[in-house]
Every structure is written in structure tokens, then in C-alpha cells.
Amino acid sequence: MKDNSVLIHCCCAHCTAYTVDYWRRQGYEITAFWYNPNIHPFTEHQHRLEAMRSLAKEFKFPLIINERYDMIEYFNRVVGHEDRRCRYCFQIRLEKTAETALKNGFSSFASSLLISPHQKHDMLLEIGNTIAEKKGIDFLNADLRKHYSDSRRMTKPLGLYRQQYCGCIYSEWERFAGEKQ
Ligand code: SF4
């Protein structure tokens, strides 16, 4: 891989569209990476993965899919610490991205999560930078939150599956029962 190669963790097709386009325009050779054991239930995970596959095909970018669905590891970290669940959730996914990037010779990693105004942006930066330092690989980041709607405009003509909640079963509960824990 070249010095400008980046492995981009993708949380969903709709956040990925603008993100991959942005890093491409910055001159990076991009590859998308799917690893999201925080998406429950499994059928929902599969719907979102299918949307990602379609996006990769339409936008012509390579996509690495980690076939493991480590839902049990997710719950092992989160149960009993639900108030900190997003921290663990970001760690699990970004750690796996950095490890996969290193294993495959990428010079950096990034995440589509950084485009979302619904995610904890500063926490993502802190976790990404800590992992980068620990593992010896660059973490690319840019505040793309003002382009969140642009990204959705890019995917709209494709008619891809669109999720109604963040991912975990807790967020599904909050979304549909109006609960906030
Ligand atoms: S709310 Fe979203 S970011 Fe937080 S733990 Fe659930 S899936 Fe992960």
C-alpha cells in the first residue's frame, strides 16, 4: 500500500458516501471497512451491510468486510456500564479498523462516524487518536458534520435501506419508546 492509503471504518452507507468522496478528493487511496457488532438485531445488521455493498458497487470503491459479528464481545464490554456504552462501542470498532489497516499495510485509518452530528464527536477523536498512538498508525480526521445532509442527498437516488436508530438495542429502545438512559 502507498503512503496515502486509508482504511475507512464505515458505520452505514449514508454516512459513508460523503466521507469516502471527501478523503478521495484529499488525494487518498481509499478502502472502506465494515465491522459493526453494535448493530442489533442481526437482521438489521444485514440490511445495513447490504446497503453498504450496494454503495461500494455504485461509487466504485473497495470494501473489506469483517465477517465476524462480535455481538457477545460488545455486550461483554457494555452490560453493567450502559452509561459508557458509546465509548466501548467506538473503541471496539476503531481498534479493529486500526488492526486491519496495519495488517493490510494501510498508512492510516478513519471513520465515517465523524460526519454524524448524532455521535459524540470529541469522544471519537480522543479514542481514534489514542488508538493511533498506541498502534503506530495515523488517524485521519476532519469535522464533516456540516455535510451530513449532503451525504444523505448523495445516497437518496440509490434507494438504499435507511436505518431508524443508531445501532444497539439500547438505541432502538430509546428511539421507539422515547426513553433516554
Ligand atoms: S448508541 Fe450508537 S454509538 Fe452508542 S453504543 Fe449504541 S450503537 Fe454504539
- Cβ of 110 closer than 6 Å to ligand 1, yes or no, is no
CATH, domain 5-177, list 3.40.50.12780, 3.40.50.620, 1.10.287.1080, 3.40.50.300: 3.40.50.620
Please state whether the peptide bond connecting residue 41 to the residue before it is cis, i.e. omega within 30 degrees of 0. Answer: yes
What number is the average pLDDT over the span 156-179? 95
pLDDT at 91 > cutoff 90? yes
- What pLDDT, on the 0 to 100 scale, is given for residue 82? 95
Nearest-atom number in ligand 1 for the CA of 39 is: 7
Cα gap 42→27, rounded to integer Å: 35
For residue range 98-119, what is the model confidence (pLDDT) as tens digits? 999 999 999 999 999 999 999 9
pLDDT band at 74 (very low <50, low <70, confident <90, very high): very high
pLDDT at 134 > cutoff 60? yes
Distances (CA, A) of 72 to 48, 65, 79, 92: 19, 19, 10, 12
pLDDT at 138 > cutoff 60? yes
pLDDT at 83 > cutoff 70? yes
How high does pLDDT run on average in the chain? 96
What number is the average pLDDT over the span 56-85? 96
Nearest-atom number in ligand 1 for the CA of 171 is: 1
**157: phi then psi, degrees, rounded to nearest 5:** -60, -20
pLDDT at 181 > cutoff 60? no
- What pLDDT, on the 0 to 100 scale, is given for residue 66? 96
- Cβ of 166 closer than 6 Å to ligand 1, yes or no, is yes
Confidence (pTM):
0.96
Ligand 1 centroid, distance to 73 Cα (angstroms): 14
Ligand 1 centroid, distance to 13 Cα (angstroms): 16
pLDDT at 2 > cutoff 80? no
- What pLDDT, on the 0 to 100 scale, is given for residue 48? 98
Cα gap 123→80, rounded to integer Å: 20
What does the domain layout of the chain look like in residue ranges?
A: 5-177
Does 15 or 67 have the greater pLDDT score?
15
What number is the average pLDDT over the span 120-127? 98
For residue range 171-180, what is the model confidence (pLDDT) as tens digits? 999 999 986 6
